[in-house]
Chains A and B, each alone.
Chain A
Amino acid sequence: MEKQNNQEYLTAVQAAFGADVLAHEEAFGMLNIEMTPNRIHDAIAWLQQHQDLSVNYLTNIAGVHYPEAVGREFAVVYQLHSWKNNLRLRIKGYLPKDNLHIATITDLFAGANWMERETYDFFGIIFDGHPDLRRILNMDDMDYFPMRKEYVLEDATREDKDDRFFGRNNNEL
C-alpha cells in the first residue's frame, strides 16, 4: 500500500468530520488541524481505529495560553504519530477562558493520564471524564495555574534581587 501523506489525511478527516474541521495548515512539514473542541475525542478515536490512517501513538499533549485572543484564550494541542505512514499530526482545540472543559482521551491512550494532569496543573484546563484529575508537579495547595501568562516566573520570597535597576518593576512580568 502507498504511504499516505498530509493531504490525504486532511481530506479523510474533512470527509469524516466536515464542519468540525475549523482550520488547517501545514507548518514545517507537519499537518495542523483545528477542530471543534468537543469533537476532538471522537476524531482521535476515529483516527486510531482507521485502517489506513492508523494513528497509533500519542506523542504529547500541550496547553497554550493566548491571553489576547478573546473567546479562544486556551489551546489544547495533541501531537499524534502514525507509525504505519510515518506521519506526525497535530490536532488543536481552542477553549474560551470561562469554559475550560474538554473530553479526556485516557480511554484511548493510557499515557494521556499524566499528560492531561500536567496540562491541568499548568493551565487549569479540565479534562472531563479523567479518572484522577489532580495537580501533579506542583504542590496540592497551590492556588493558581503557574503557566498562564499573567503569573510571574520568579520566586516572590527573594529579597536579594532588585529588578528596578533593569527597568523592571518587581511586580510586573
Chain B
Amino acid sequence: MSQEIKDILQAADPANVATINFGPTHPSTHGIFQNILKVDGEKIISSEQTVGYIHRAFEKLAERRPYNQITPITDRLNYCSSPINNIGWEMTVEKLIGVDIPKRVQYMRVIIMELARIADHLICNSVIGVDAGALTSFFYPFSEREKIYELYEEMSGARLTTNMGRIGGFERDFTPVFHQKLQSFLKTFPKAFEEFDSMLARNRIFMDRTKGAGPISAERALSYSFSGPNLRAAGVDYDVRAMNPYSSYEDFDFIIPVGVNGDTYDRFMVRQEEIRQSLRIIEQAYKNLPEGDYKADLPDFYLPPKADVYNNMEALIYHFKIVMGETELPVGEVYHAVEGGNGELGYYLISDGGRTPYRLQFRRPCFIYYQAYPEMIKGLPISDAVLTLSSINVIAGELDA
C-alpha cells in the first residue's frame, strides 16, 4: 500500500464515513455482485463482497450426469468463452480414459479455443471502455464479435452455449462455409481490431482514467492465486499454455505479454496483446492444419452416425450404451487445467468407475481472484472501483458456480 493511500485511510473521520451498496443490481457491475462500501467522500475505506447470487450448484449437478452430459454444464461457467470450457472438460475425460487424440483434432481445438479467447477478451475490453464513458468501444467490436459467433454456429449450431466438440474430437469437420468464414475473419478482423485499439490504447482520457486504478503487486497476486491476464498484468508470466502445454500448444510460436503495475490499464493492454497473439496462433494452426480424421477412434464415447445406428447392430449397441451412460470407466483422480479466458481453468475429477463422476470440482479463476477486490480498491475513488471491477472480468456464472 502506498504512502498516499495510507494517509487517506488515516485521515478518514469516522463521522464522515458513509456506507453504500454497490450492487446487487448496479449498471456497472455487469452481473449480480454486491459490494458494501464504506466511503469517506469519494474514497473507499473498506469494502465487503457478497457473492452467490447466481449459484446454480454445478458441482452437485455434475455428480448426477453422465460424462457427455456435463459438457453443456461447462458452457455456462464462463459463458463469454464457452468452447474453452467444453474442450477443457473433454480433455479431462480423455486424460482419464487415456486416449490419443489425432493431430488434426488438436489443431482444430486450438483454433476454436483461440477464437473463444478473442471473443472473451473483446467483451471485457469493450466493457472497460463503456465504464470509462466510451460507448463506441462497445458497438465497434461487437459487430466483429458476431463473426466469431457465426463461426461457432457453423461448428455447433449455437451462438453462445456451444456444447462444442465431443469426447474424442468434434461432432463434425470444419465445413466449407467455416473455412470461408474463417479466412475472411482472419483477413478483416485485424484491421477492425486495430481501429478499436487506436480508439483507446493511447487515448489521453482513457489512460488517465485507467492508469493506477486497482493495482495489485505481483507478490499479492500470487498469494491470492491469481491466474490469467490479471496475473500477467502484475508482471508474472504464468500461462498454462506454456507451462503445461495441452492440445499441441508447444507447436506454436506466441509470446506471453506481461504488464508492470497490475492496474486497469495494464490489464487492458495485456488482453489487447493476447488477442493479437491468439490471431497469430490461429494463423499458424490453420496454415499447418494436418490432414486426418476430426475424431479419435473411440466407439465407447463417440456417438456413431445416425445412419449407422439404424442399419448396423454394433453402432446401435454403442449408441444405446453411450446414451444410457453404461460405459466402463477407469477409477482414479485426474486434474487437468487449461488456460481459460480468465486464467487457469481446472477440472478435478474423481471417478469411482460409475456412470457419473464421484466428485467434480471446477477450479474457477474468477472465484479465486475476486476475493482480492477489496484490497485492490482500498483508498481509491468509487469510479476507479467500477473500472477495476470490469477490468478483472468477473463473470458471474464462473464466480458462483
Give A residues with C-beta under 8 Å from B.
Answer: 27-28, 30, 32, 56-60, 62, 64-65, 77, 79, 83, 86, 88, 90, 109-111, 113-115, 118, 122, 135-139, 146-147, 153
Contact = CB atoms under 8 A, between A and B. Distances in A.
B306 interface: no
Interface string B240-272: 000110000000000000000000000000000
A33 B205 CA distance: 53
Interface of B: 51-52, 55, 57, 59-61, 63-64, 95-96, 220, 222-226, 238, 243-244, 332-335, 337, 344, 346, 348, 350, 358-359, 361, 363, 367-372, 400-401
A137 B58 CA distance: 12
Contact of A146 (B57, B225, B346, B370): B57
A30 B52 contact: no
A135 B63 CA distance: 21
Contacts of B359: 62, 64-65
A135 B400 CA distance: 12
B334 A137 contact: no
A138 B358 CA distance: 22
Contacts, number: 92
Contacts of B334: 27-28
A111 B372 CA distance: 8
A110 B223 contact: yes
19 contacts: A32-B333, A56-B222, A57-B238, A59-B225, A59-B346, A62-B359, A64-B359, A83-B243, A109-B225, A110-B224, A111-B225, A111-B369, A136-B51, A137-B51, A138-B52, A147-B60, A153-B57, A153-B60, A153-B63
Nearest to B53: A137
Given A32-B333, A109-B225, 13 more contacts: A28-B332, A59-B346, A60-B361, A88-B335, A109-B224, A110-B220, A110-B223, A110-B371, A115-B368, A136-B52, A137-B400, A147-B60, A153-B60
A136 B350 CA distance: 24
* Majority SS at the chain A contact face: mixed
B251 to A, nearest CB: 19
Nearest to B55: A137
A26 B400 CA distance: 32
Contacts of A56: 222
Nearest to A132: B48
Contacts of B346: 59-60, 79
Nearest to B332: A27
A138 B223 contact: no
B96 A118 contact: no
A28 B334 CA distance: 6
A24 to B, nearest CB: 13
A136 B48 CA distance: 12
A147 B372 contact: no
Query: Which of A56, A60, A88 has the largest number of chain B CB atoms within 10 A?
Result: A60
B234 to A, nearest CB: 14
Contacts of A139: 52
A114 B367 contact: yes
Question: Which 9 residue pairs of A and B lie closest in terms of their CB atoms, listed nearest first?
Answer: A111-B225, A137-B52, A137-B55, A111-B224, A110-B223, A60-B363, A62-B361, A114-B371, A110-B224
A70 to B, nearest CB: 17
B371 A27 contact: no
Nearest to A115: B368
Nearest to B54: A137
Nearest to A149: B63
A75 B326 CA distance: 28
A138 B244 CA distance: 34
A56 B348 CA distance: 20
A173 B78 CA distance: 29
A132 to B, nearest CB: 9
Contacts of A27: 332-334
A60 B368 contact: yes
B59 A122 contact: yes
A29 to B, nearest CB: 9
Contacts of A137: 51-52, 55, 400-401
Contacts of A79: 335, 346, 348, 363
Nearest to B62: A153
Contacts of B363: 59-60, 79
Contact of B368 (A30, A65, A114): A114
A118 B367 contact: yes
A162 to B, nearest CB: 17
A150 to B, nearest CB: 12
Contacts of A32: 333
A150 B344 CA distance: 31
Contact of B95 (A28, A62, A65): A28
A146 B55 CA distance: 12
Nearest to A122: B59
Contacts of A114: 367-368, 370-371
A158 to B, nearest CB: 14
B222 A57 contact: yes
A77 B333 CA distance: 11
Given A56-B222, A57-B225, A122-B59, A90 B335 contact: yes
